């Protein structure tokens, strides 16, 4: 399937509008087998996705190893891959237990050490390339530098600039769960792209007031992750999660209201959740995670589902979306 593509900022990196996020490939919350991980990547490729995201953090390197193995043999010029820096994985002398305290169902063979120094950036990238089995990646993000912002801006970011100028990476950026610090990167640096998780969704449009206008003004691309807010917008109901914790009752009630409006227009809530972010001109792409081939196939089908303009109009009129929020075109769109 031929998929629409977009350039990231002022870089030469071209990505598909929908990308596969690799956290689940690292056994996020519960294990999946190697075969299921490979099948998810294969299904993404079959659906036309050519952009893949991972990080050392995801399963203590398991996501990178699985993604690299699944892409091996694919034409390297046909896809883009992003990984992240900021956490160094150090082997434990006496491994014991699992890594579920950090969200991943893998043996606790390593510990993560925050490192946003210039040397740490290069070391992290080199180790990621080894796990991926590649000689280059297309995009490198500073990963979750919330509590290390000064060092990330003053040491890690210049190191990424040097990697870009040397041609070792095509595009650089930062990835976080909060829009305020990402806005600093958009305004104060020459990043090509920022990855924002969970803060521009049907339930949370906080990035609309800071990051998105700043990115649009500076020509910085925004990739949006967490469009289901970790599950609540995929299947609202008792026990549903929002940002990886049980959803508070007011948010669950709001998600159910969103679902009711979508149902009145014959649209699955999942389809509206995947499509929503594309309404803003600064958004270059959406990142979706998948634990199986079926989940990634569903995501691509939801993205292609036609959504009537009346749905967006009702969501704005009812106050479930801000009155002035930009919304996507009403026609379906392939991945």
Q: Is 58 a catalytic residue?
A: yes
Q: Judging by DSSP bridges, how do beta strands 87-91 and 110-114 pair with one another? A: antiparallel
Distance, CA of 258 to CA of 217 (rounded, Å): 31
Distance, CA of 300 to CA of 42 (rounded, Å): 13
The region, left, alpha or beta by phi > 0 then psi within -120 to 50, assigned to residue 133 is: left
Q: Judging by DSSP bridges, how do beta strands 241-242 and 245-246 pair with one another? A: antiparallel
Q: Active-site residue among 58, 79, 141, 157? A: 58
Distance, CA of 305 to CA of 89 (rounded, Å): 41
316: tokens are: 């704005």
Centroid of chain to Cα 306: 23
Residue 331: CB partners within 8 Å, gap ≥ 6? 306
Indicate the length of the chain as a whole number.
Answer: 335
Q: Just list the catalytic residues.
A: 58
């Amino acid at each position: 399937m031929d998929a629409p593509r977009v350039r990231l900022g002022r870089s030469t990196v071209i990505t598909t509008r929908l990308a596969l996020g690799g956290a689940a490939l690292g056994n996020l919350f519960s294990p999946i087998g190697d075969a299921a991980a490979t099948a998810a990547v294969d299904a993404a490729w079959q659906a036309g996705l050519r952009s893949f995201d991972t990080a050392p953090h995801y399963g203590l390197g398991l996501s990178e190893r699985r993604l690299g193995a699944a892409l091996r043999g694919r034409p390297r010029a046909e896809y883009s891959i992003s990984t992240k820096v900021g956490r160094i994985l150090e082997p434990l002398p006496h491994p014991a237990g699992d890594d579920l305290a950090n969200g991943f169902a893998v043996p606790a063979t390593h510990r993560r050490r925050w490192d946003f120094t210039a040397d740490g950036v290069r070391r992290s990238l080199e180790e990621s390339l080894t796990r991926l089995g590649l000689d280059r990646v297309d995009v490198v993000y500073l990963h979750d530098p919330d509590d290390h912002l000064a060092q990330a801006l003053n040491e890690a970011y210049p190191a990424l600039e040097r990697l870009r100028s040397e041609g070792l990476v095509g595009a650089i950026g930062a990835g976080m769960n909060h829009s305020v610090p990402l806005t600093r990167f958009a305004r104060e640096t020459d990043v090509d792209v920022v990855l924002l998780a969970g803060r521009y969704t049907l339930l949370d449009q906080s990035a609309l007031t800071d990051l998105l206008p700043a990115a649009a003004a500076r020509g910085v691309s925004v990739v949006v992750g967490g469009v289901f807010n970790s599950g609540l917008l995929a299947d609202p109901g008792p026990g549903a999660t929002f940002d990886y914790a049980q959803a508070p009752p007011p948010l669950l009630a709001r998600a159910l209201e969103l679902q009711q409006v979508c149902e009145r227009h014959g649209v699955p809530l999942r389809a509206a959740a995947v499509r929503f972010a594309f309404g803003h001109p600064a958004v270059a792409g959406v990142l979706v995670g998948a634990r199986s081939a079926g989940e990634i196939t569903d995501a691509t089908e939801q993205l292609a589902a036609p959504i009537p303009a009346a749905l967006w109009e009702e969501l704005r009129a009812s106050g479930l979306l801000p009155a002035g929020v930009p919304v996507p075109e009403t026609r379906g769109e392939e991945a």
